[in-house]
Amino acid sequence: MDLQLRDKIIIVTGGAKGIGEGITKVLAAEGAIPVIVGRSAEDNNNVIKEVEERGGKAFQVEAELTKPEECEKVITTIVEQFGRIEGLVNNAGVNDGIGLEKGSYEGFIASMHRNVVHYYLLAHFALPQLIKSRGSIVNITSKTAETGQGNTSAYAAANGARNGLTREWAVELLKYRIRVNAIVVAESWTPQYETWIQTLSNPEEKLKEITSKIPFENRMTTPEEIANMAAFLLSEKSSHTTGQIIHVDGGYVHLDRALANA
């Protein structure tokens, strides 16, 4: 299917790693020009090199998104380079383990900046360009907002906010014909996930236990599968879809666990 994304300028935060990297590569394969936003120019450029080797195009902006002024710089840089923005994928964040019992005010607020404040700021600063292009916003969120996880109060709260902002922006931006949707991720194999599981005493057993509970095919969702949904939501092929919180998770959140090994 031709998603008609050719030459569209689409921001992908955290676009050099994990799910963000998957989104960058799928968008480039569709002919779009993804703009990777991340704190490491080296990582960003490594992905750009891979994209270019496959015949695609990409651009990057090095930025620390926990700093509001850097969020504004991202948008200014992109507009100076291209003069337009057609899409925004808010993806950057980290499950940072700021819990309730052993957490702190400082840790909680810092996590908000790592995980949701920049979602708002990038959308805010990009909005004039998105209004001109009638662009689309996709927010990547996590199951933790709905299921809880334990010892990750801040991340769960940030993802609840991501879901809430998705619906709120969809309402506010109706008049501009800007569509806003979210993709909820449950268990997806990324470098961050691999690092986490290796901290456990029995990583292989734990991984087997987790995948056994994923109803569809007893496997993790791939970054590419999430990326395919993101590309669809950014395209005009989803022209009457807005305000939706879509789970790309092999049925992990909503299907009966009894089905997992059926």
The confidence score (pLDDT) of residue 148 equals: 95
Quickly state the pLDDT bin for 88 (edges 50, 70, 90).
very high
For the segment 4-23, the average pLDDT, to the nearest whole number, is 98
For the record, the structure tokens of 146 come out as 């709905």
Kindly tell me if the per-residue pLDDT of 256 is higher than 80: yes
- For this structure, is 119 an active site residue? no
CA distances from 224 to 147, 156, 189 (A): 24, 24, 10
Q: What is the pLDDT of residues 20-69, one digit of tens each?
A: 999 999 999 999 999 999 999 999 999 999 999 999 999 999 999 999 99
Kindly tell me if the per-residue pLDDT of 257 is higher than 80: no
Which member of 155, 176, 193, 252 is catalytic? 155
User: Any idea where the domains of the chain sit in the sequence?
Assistant: 9-189+222-255
Model pTM score: 0.96
The confidence score (pLDDT) of residue 260 equals: 64
For the record, the structure tokens of 109 come out as 């607020």
The confidence score (pLDDT) of residue 91 equals: 98
Q: What is the pLDDT of residues 198-251, one digit of tens each?
A: 888 898 998 999 999 999 999 999 999 999 999 999 999 999 999 999 999 999
Half-sphere CA count of 29, side-chain side, radius 13 A? 14
The confidence score (pLDDT) of residue 15 equals: 98
The confidence score (pLDDT) of residue 107 equals: 98
The confidence score (pLDDT) of residue 262 equals: 60
For the record, the structure tokens of 210 come out as 């987790």
Residue by residue, DSSP assigns the chain as: -----TT-EEEEETTTSHHHHHHHHHHHHTT-EEEEEES-HHHHHHHHHHHHHTT---EEEE--TTSHHHHHHHHHHHHHHHS---EEEE---------SSS--HHHHHHHHIIIIIHHHHHHHHHHHHHHHHT-EEEEEEETHHHH--SS-HHHHHHHHHHHHHHHHHHHHTGGGT-EEEEEEE-SB--HHHHHHHTTSSSHHHHHHHHHHT-TTTTSPBPHHHHHHHHHHHHSGGGTT--S-EEE-STTTTTS-GGGTT-
Q: What is the pLDDT of residues 91-131, one digit of tens each?
A: 999 999 999 999 999 999 999 999 999 999 999 999 999 99
The confidence score (pLDDT) of residue 191 equals: 85
CA distance 201 to 4: 47
- For domain 9-189+222-255, the question of CATH label 1.10.3720.10 is answered with no
The confidence score (pLDDT) of residue 192 equals: 83
The confidence score (pLDDT) of residue 95 equals: 94
The confidence score (pLDDT) of residue 190 equals: 87
For the record, the structure tokens of 103 come out as 């957490």
The confidence score (pLDDT) of residue 244 equals: 98
The confidence score (pLDDT) of residue 199 equals: 86
Quickly state the pLDDT bin for 194 (edges 50, 70, 90).
confident
Kindly tell me if the per-residue pLDDT of 1 is higher than 90: no
